[in-house]
Amino acid sequence: MGIDVSGILSVAQSEAVSERCETLRRAFEARALVLSYGTPGSKMEMEEVSRGYSQLLKQAPWWEGCAIFLEVKCTSRVGDSPEQYSIFDDIMDSSDTVAIRCEGPVSELDFHALVRCSDAAIFSFAPGGPMTAALEYFVCQPRGEKRPIVSDLNPIGYQVPGMIQYRQGDYDSIARTIDYTLQLPGGLWMGNPGTPRLEDYDVGIFNTAEWWAKAVLRDLMKNLLRGCRSAGTSDTDVRGSRSPEAFAGA
């Protein structure tokens, strides 16, 4: 999986994109931009991300007045045209709302402006299709301080270092991942709602208490079975029939 870095930079750093970034800053003022991007094939995962963001507003209500959720379903790569949908029409009309959902494909210029200005960007996965937008997000970051958010089932999370992962289908995990990413340094939003809890998030995938409880029980069962197996191995060793190494390799 690869991208045209020089081509992306030439567009992302263009005057047209910079002007769009200024428009975004004026529209959002001091609010954080949470971008959810996907293709038509990733509709289900995008819905999960949307519910995860709603969960974030319940868990951390201060974000409701400090952030805005922007859902973009696809990008047109044919350039701008008078008939093409412009995301800024929705932004200027709805900049004081909690969430904006784009109805049509945004232009490539609008997309690069969004990834340059977003404080948290979630890229949903569509099975069978390339997902290079997360790579473009890396390239478009002016200071390289932000990292893309992907699910633990997205293959790109294991191919490219630096991705922030959440557990797919887990709304609490999505909420905590967005919360963590918004509090990373840099980005459009420079406020400080609540108390940063970066020390609570020192794992690659943001799991819920329920997931950890199941994981602990699973490990306990493994250790119990291992103990029983070891006890049986010791008995056979005494009789000289098999060694522990042979038993483990059986």
Q: What is the pLDDT of residue 144?
A: 57
Task: Tell the residue number behind the tokens 């799991």, with chain if given.
Answer: 207
Q: What is the pLDDT of residue 173?
A: 93
Spans of the chain below 50 pLDDT: 78, 81-83, 187-207, 234-250
SS3 7: helix
Q: What is the pLDDT of residue 238?
A: 38
Q: What is the pLDDT of residue 38?
A: 85
| Residue 96 tokens, joined | 């004081």
Continuous H helices in 183-208: none
Return phi, psi of residue 72, to 5°: -120, 120
Task: Tell the residue number behind the tokens 């959002």, with chain if given.
Answer: 28
Q: Taking Cα atoms as reference points, which of 131, 172, 202 lies closest to residue 49?
A: 172
Amino acid of residue 116: R
Angle at CA of residue 18, ends 106 and 119, nearest 5° = 70
SS3 66: coil
The DSSP secondary-structure symbol of 183 reads T
What is the C-alpha separation between 250 and 248, in angstroms, rounded?
6
Q: What is the pLDDT of residue 122?
A: 94
Per residue in 75-84, pLDDT tens? 665 455 444 5
What is the C-alpha separation between 198 and 179, in angstroms, rounded?
10
Indicate the burial class of 210 (C-beta count within 10 angstroms; 0-12, 13-18, 19 or more). Answer: exposed
- In this prediction the pTM is 0.69
